[in-house]
């Protein structure tokens, strides 16, 4: 299988006036063409930063130390000039951000924001062409009134509608690699199922590969071919999704499964002794939940 | 006795040339001490309903009654005190320039709860109540984890000694282990302080294990209202059935239950 993404021994540290914090301690992860791979783990474990490195966003920040290698379609991203790496963003690879405010601009209506996304592969696309294409894309994510949504500011839409707008934008240019960071947290389960179907269709029709970051274990179980479990900056378990769920090997993976409430009832999950140390935040930094 | 009553409540918005009927004709009684879950389609008016209950904007039709009396469009301080909100995003809910202790203290000041002598002790007590160490009062909210921040937001709701807490997706930004803790805390506080919850969420597994009743919303309307057990074992409305049969699950037992519903 050809690898679309090949991460080898990736280490990341943030340097600041108060010292250095090591966030990734040498993680390795691969995604083949047309493969759906999940990355699960507690908040702060390093999921979003991994995706941000792949997208080339952290490399441009000050105080960031990265070692190891990230290859995208056989090319070493570390060796690539900034300009080339930026040109991949929003075209060959795109990301659904966890936080809507990092991809939707509150002071612009949705239509011009769509135009900017589409212009990355169709430079100079007109507003009328944008609206036609955006309308189709919004319908795909179960938006019932695309016209109204295009004429709205983000604050005029519900949380789940904004999230769907971001999903539609990320899929717009049919990327080879989709980085989906907690893509369904604000969606009801029927719309969520529909967006998962859409991502599956992208995988089958365009051979897109997906890195699917989520703390929703049910969704991971249904969507991913393979699952990596990350714990405090280390990959502690990896395998076909079915195996990871049926025979979790690491105590942390077992703790995650046990903490998931069940739709069959049985009460709120009990935290077993020993979970406590999984709960202590490892790093606390400004602005990251 | 019902603590909160919604009477033919409705809200429309105007966006340019488009009229949005966000919420239509909702009549609903919330009993004192219950945990009513509000679930349903994204964009179906759940947050709009929450905002109407909180009095953040006036309804287009209908009224909100609290503790037997109709709430005015412009709420008094006492009204604002008795209904509190806990939002999804713990990051934006707390002022980053104020320490945790100062935020809690401010809530006490605004509502004139206690005296300047007793307030610091009350702040410490509130933190303990939500399972946080007292010395966290000095920290800035930006230095806290998501779960800790959500506990502080809950402590602030408790500070006001409110009777009704509106929870709008309070745990959806948290990972499962932290979520499990926060859910325990919420269940516990409701029992200890006889609180009433309006619990808005997309997570039906959470609903099953925490709610007394469930209201299901679709396209701006309430399509079903029933005991939690009934919603999950004998849902009546076609939308409710679709919703439950779309829940992603991890165990075979859950899969069997879900598939049973989608066939019947
Ligand atoms: N300030 C506003 N101006 C215009 N339209 C609005 C405004 N607030 C909400 N709406 C519209 O009202 C409808 C209901 O929105 P609401 O936020 O209540 O949905 P929700 O049920 O909470 O959805 P979600 O599950 O996605 O959070 C949506 O169509 C939304 O676009
Ligand atoms: N720009 C940044 N500066 C300093 N620390 C950061 C930055 N971004 C993330 N971190 C830290 O890196 C760790 C991993 O964060 P993240 O990848 O966002 O976690 P998650 O697994 O929840 O997505 C956290 O401890 C976070 O505080
Ligand atoms: Mg993250
Ligand atoms: Mg909402």
Tens of pLDDT, residue by residue over B116-158, are 899 999 999 999 999 999 989 999 888 888 888 889 999 999 9
- Is B71 in contact with B4 (CB distance < 8 Å)? no
- Match 């039906």 to its residue by tokens: B204
* Cβ contacts of A42 on chain B, cutoff 8 Å: 175, 177-178
Q: What is the mean pLDDT of chain B?
A: 92
* Model pLDDT, residue A1: 63
Dist. CA A155 → ligand 1 center (Å): 9
Q: Which residues contact B77 (CB under 8 A, 6 or more apart)?
A: B110, B111
Mean of pLDDT values over A69-82: 93
Q: What percent of chain B has pLDDT over 70?
A: 98
Neighbours of A262 (CB within 10 A): 18
B169 at interface of A, judged by CB pairs closer than 8 A = yes
Neighbours of B14 (CB within 10 A): 9
Q: What is d(CA A274, CA A272) in angstroms, rounded to the nearest whole number?
A: 6
Tens of pLDDT, residue by residue over B216-239, are 999 999 999 999 999 999 999 999
Dist. CA A153 → ligand 3 center (Å): 25
Between A26 and A183, name the one with better pLDDT.
A26
Bridge partners, A285 (sequence order): none
Question: Binning pLDDT at 50, 70 and 90, where does residue A285 land?
Answer: very low
- Is A233 in contact with A46 (CB distance < 8 Å)? yes
* Cβ contacts of B209 on chain A, cutoff 8 Å: 261-262, 265-268
Q: How many CB pairs under 8 A join A and B?
A: 170
Residues 104-123 of B with CB under 8 A from A: none
Tens of pLDDT, residue by residue over B171-185, are 887 888 888 988 999
Residue A215 reports pLDDT greater than 60? yes
Which among B264, B87, B234 is positioned nearest to A159, based on CA atoms? B87
- Match 């960031």 to its residue by tokens: A64
* Model pLDDT, residue B175: 83
Task: Say if residue B143 is exposed, middle or buried (CB neighbours under 10 Å; 0-12, 13-18, 19+).
Answer: middle
Bridge partners, A256 (sequence order): none
- Chain B residue with minimal CA distance to A196? B248
Question: Binning pLDDT at 50, 70 and 90, where does residue A269 land?
Answer: confident
Which among A113, A16, A110, A28 is positioned nearest to A68, based on CA atoms? A28
Dist. CA A102 → ligand 3 center (Å): 12
Neighbours of A79 (CB within 10 A): 10
Q: What percent of chain A has pLDDT over 90?
A: 66
Residue A284 reports pLDDT greater than 60? no
Element (H, E) at A181: strand A177-181
Tens of pLDDT, residue by residue over B46-97, are 999 999 999 999 999 999 999 999 999 889 998 889 999 998 776 677 888 9
Which among A162, A216, A172, A217 is positioned nearest to A198, based on CA atoms? A172
Q: Please state which of the ranges A89-93, A256-260, A280-284, B9-13 shows the lowest mean pLDDT.
A: A280-284
* Model pLDDT, residue A180: 95
Q: What is d(CA A237, CA B99) in angstroms, rounded to the nearest whole number?
A: 38
Between A185 and B7, name the one with better pLDDT.
B7
Dist. CA B32 → ligand 4 center (Å): 24
B145 at interface of A, judged by CB pairs closer than 8 A = yes
Mean of pLDDT values over B243-257: 89
Query: What pTM was estimated for this model as a whole?
Result: 0.89
Mean of pLDDT values over A79-90: 91
Atom number of ligand 1 nearest to Cα A145:
29
* Model pLDDT, residue A282: 41
Q: What is d(CA B229, CA B234) in angstroms, rounded to the nearest whole number?
A: 8
Residue A238 reports pLDDT greater than 60? yes
Tens of pLDDT, residue by residue over A89-122, are 999 999 998 777 778 999 999 999 999 999 999 9
* Cβ contacts of A271 on chain B, cutoff 8 Å: 177, 180-181, 184
Total residues found in chain A within this entry? 289
- Is A55 in contact with A89 (CB distance < 8 Å)? yes
Residue A289 reports pLDDT greater than 70? no
Q: What is the mean pLDDT of chain A?
A: 89
Residue A71 reports pLDDT greater than 80? yes
- Which residue's C-alpha comes closest to atom 30 of ligand 1? A157
Ligand that comes closest to the CA of residue B87: 4
């Amino acid at each position: 299988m050809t690898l679309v993404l090949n991460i080898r021994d990736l280490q990341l540290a943030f340097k600041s006036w108060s010292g250095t914090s090591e966030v990734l301690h040498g993680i390795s992860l691969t995604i083949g063409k047309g493969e759906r791979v999940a990355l699960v783990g507690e908040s702060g474990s390093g999921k979003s930063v991994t995706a941000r490195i792949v997208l080339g966003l952290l490399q441009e920040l000050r105080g960031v130390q990265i070692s190891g290698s990230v290859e995208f379609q056989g090319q070493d991203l570390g060796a690539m000039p900034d300009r080339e790496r930026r040109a991949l963003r929003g075209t060959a690879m795109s990301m659904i951000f966890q936080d809507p405010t990092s991809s939707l601009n509150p002071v612009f209506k949705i239509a011009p924001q769509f135009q900017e996304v589409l212009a990355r592969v169709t430079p100079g696309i007109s507003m009328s062409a944008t609206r036609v294409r955006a309308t189709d894309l919004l319908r795909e994510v179960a938006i019932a009134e695309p016209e109204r949504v295009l004429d709205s500011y983000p604050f005029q839409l519900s949380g789940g509608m904004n999230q769907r707008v971001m999903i539609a934008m990320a899929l717009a240019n049919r990327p080879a690699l989709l980085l989906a960071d907690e893509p369904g947290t604000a969606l009801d389960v029927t719309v969520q199922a529909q967006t998962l179907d859409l991502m599956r269709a992208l995988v089958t029709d365009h051979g897109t590969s997906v890195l699917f970051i989520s703390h929703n274990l049910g969704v991971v179980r249904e969507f991913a071919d393979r699952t990596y479990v990350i714990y405090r900056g280390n990959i502690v378990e990896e395998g076909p999704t079915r195996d990871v769920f049926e025979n979790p090997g690491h105590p942390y993976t077992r703790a995650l499964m046990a903490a998931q409430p069940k739709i069959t009832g049985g009460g709120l999950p009990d935290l077993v002794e020993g979970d406590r140390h999984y709960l202590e935040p490892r790093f606390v930094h400004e602005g990251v939940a | 006795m019902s603590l909160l009553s919604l009477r033919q409540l409705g809200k429309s918005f105007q966006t340019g040339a488009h009229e949005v009927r966000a919420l239509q004709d909702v009549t609903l009684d919330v009993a004192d001490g219950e945990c009513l879950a509000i679930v349903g389609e994204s964009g179906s008016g759940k947050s709009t309903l929450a905002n109407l209950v909180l009095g953040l904007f006036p309804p287009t039709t209908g009224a909100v009654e609290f503790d037997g009396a109709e709430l005015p469009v412009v709420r008094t301080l006492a009204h604002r005190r008795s209904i509190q909100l806990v939002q999804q995003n713990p990051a934006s809910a707390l002022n980053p320039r104020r320490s945790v202790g100062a935020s809690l203290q401010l809530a006490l000041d605004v509502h004139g709860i206690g005296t300047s002598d007793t307030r610091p002790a009350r702040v410490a007590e509130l933190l303990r109540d939500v399972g946080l160490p007292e010395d966290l009062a000095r920290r800035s909210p930006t230095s806290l984890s998501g779960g800790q921040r959500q506990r502080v937001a809950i402590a602030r709701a408790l500070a006001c000694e409110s009777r009704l807490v509106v929870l709008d997706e309070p745990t959806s930004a948290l990972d499962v282990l932290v979520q499990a803790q926060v859910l325990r805390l919420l269940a516990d506080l409701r029992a200890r302080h006889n609180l009433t919850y309006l619990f808005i969420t997309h997570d039906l597994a959470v609903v099953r294990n925490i709610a007394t009743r469930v209201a299901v919303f679709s396209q701006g309307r309430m399509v079903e209202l029933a005991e939690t057990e009934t919603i999950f074992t004998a849902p009546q409305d076609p939308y409710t059935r679709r919703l439950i049969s779309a829940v992603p699950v991890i165990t075979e037992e859950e899969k069997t239950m879900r598939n049973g519903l989608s066939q019947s």
